[in-house]
A and B are shown apart, each in its own frame.
Chain A
Amino acid sequence: MILPLVIAAILIFALIGFYNSVVRKKNQVTNAFSAIDVMLQKRFDLIPNLVETVKAYARYESSTLEKITGLRSKAMAGTTGPAEKAALDQQIGTAVKSIIVNSENYPELKANSNFQNLQITWTESEEQTAAARRHYNSAVTDYNNGIMTFPGNVLAGILNYTPLPVLAVAEAERQAPNAKALFNN
């Protein structure tokens, strides 16, 4: 009589354990995504200042500046998912990098201390965002492993949990997120 009760108790505890673990993993993904959001927000907050500073010295870059402003508004609209946001951030990153590279043509802009600080802060935010993305991918992998392997897959079926895609990491980021080369241009 005792043995079946013990087995039933163990099974119930195991079930609770697996359930909690799957839910915890799902919550980690949500947390990791909000960490990306926080980092992106910090990054996007730099843009108005950057645009203002560049505008004063480099009139010829107006189309790039408009593009950046447009992309920022799109990214901050609040309806974008993780993948779209990452794609927009990548486009913004490329546009800002082109301004940093082109600053060579505008000596006054290059010498401006505000611009120099913005470059440094931008590089930092780039690595922080990359770190947040890596954390998100790690949380997603953990979650996907949890719901695709037994017995998590049974629970996932009941809870209607589906695997999530990881964010693509840019090739340059994967190698070495080091803006030194960019600064030497």
Chain B
Amino acid sequence: MNLRPALENLEPVRKKVAKSKIYGFSFLGLGVLLFLLLFFALQLDPLIAIGLAAAPVVTGFIILSIASNAAATYRNTFKREVIATALRTIDPTLQIQPAYGIEEQEFIDAQLFNKIPDRYHTEDLVTGKSDKTPFYFAEVHAEYKTETQTKNGRREHWHTILKGIVFVADFNKHFDGLTLIQPRSLAGSFGAWFSKNIYSFGEQQVVELESPDFSREFIVYSTDQVEARYLLTPAMMARICVLNNRCKETISLSFFNSKMYIAFPLANNCFEAPVFRSLLANDVLRRDLELIGFMFGIITELDLNTRIWTKQ
């Protein structure tokens, strides 16, 4: 499937949006310059300087506000037409729903992270099926809030729990409990030691696994020691390590409700239409295509299509 026609159709729209934005910012800049000139160079009364500079500033804002509506339509069209076509080039079952994502409750239930989000945003849900295994993934930005007392009252601080992608696939074995695989950190290691040797909070226990490579990267908690090992066979641990090595930051995984959840922290927003770069540039979709290919490949990489157990 060729992406070129879809990109060519959208390129004039991109140019229009870019032009509007440039005009808008130019008017804003002009207003600021005018104010500086009138106030500092000509030493006019500040109110008169502001009054005269207001005209280009207001014009700039109006242009930018119109441009932002056009930009939103452009971004949506990009996802619906270009990304949707790109997905089909990788596999015909892949579909994108830009306005949907992973429900916040599902994110909380999967317990990929210890913190419960105070602010949650999700978009760009991609669904598909690789052979026997249905899967979906979406962008997620989850944050929690802390507050500090300052002289001027309370101040809020927002901290990121995850900015990246949550990938969910139907797992090929039956299980009833909850098993979590979290990146090993100093605090996590101490917590694991504490819960193993001193006192364990909650239902989950630390699971000590045999693979040194796996245990160096991850700490495993589970409600069932045997089930955790049934899910994390030596082969599965090796495959998770391979997958993790391909990522810049350590991934988190959880097995819950018959599904496998994987959180991939990512620095960049995905599937976003470029505004100031041509859509016809050769590598415009390279990063997005690589990401989709990577996500699609997880099923094969983790061998989730092998259905030789009672779950078919």
Contact with A along B191-227 (1 / 0, CB 8 A): 0000001000000000011100000000000000111
A50 beta carbon closer than 8 Å to chain B = no
A176 to B306, CA, bound (A): 13
Contact with B along A124-148 (1 / 0, CB 8 A): 1001101110110110001000000
A174 to B237, CA, bound (A): 12
A180 touches B197 (CB 8 A): no
B233 beta carbon closer than 8 Å to chain A = yes
Contact A180 B225, CB 8 Å, known A21-B197, A128-B230, A138-B208: no
Q: Is the interface of A mostly helix, strand, loop or mixed?
A: helix
Task: Say how far B190's CB is from chain A's closest CB, in angstroms.
Answer: 17
Interface residues on A, range: 20 to 34
B208 touches A127 (CB 8 A): no
Residues of B within 8 A of A134 (CB): 210, 229
A123 to B233, CA, bound (A): 13
The interface on chain B, measured as residues whose beta carbon lies within 8 A of the other chain's beta carbons, has a size of: 20
Residues of A within 8 A of B29 (CB): none
A95 to B229, CA, bound (A): 25
A39 touches B226 (CB 8 A): yes
B268 beta carbon closer than 8 Å to chain A = no
A177 beta carbon closer than 8 Å to chain B = yes
Task: Say how far A47's CB is from chain B's closest CB, in angstroms.
Answer: 17
Residues of A within 8 A of B209 (CB): 138
Interface positions of B from 5 to 25, Cβ below 8 Å from A? none
Pairs of residues from A and B, 6 with the lowest C-beta to C-beta distance, nearest first: A131-B229, A176-B235, A131-B230, A124-B309, A134-B229, A135-B225
Pairs across A and B, CB under 8 Å, 12 listed: A35-B225, A120-B309, A124-B174, A128-B230, A130-B233, A132-B226, A138-B208, A176-B235, A177-B233, A177-B235, A178-B233, A178-B306
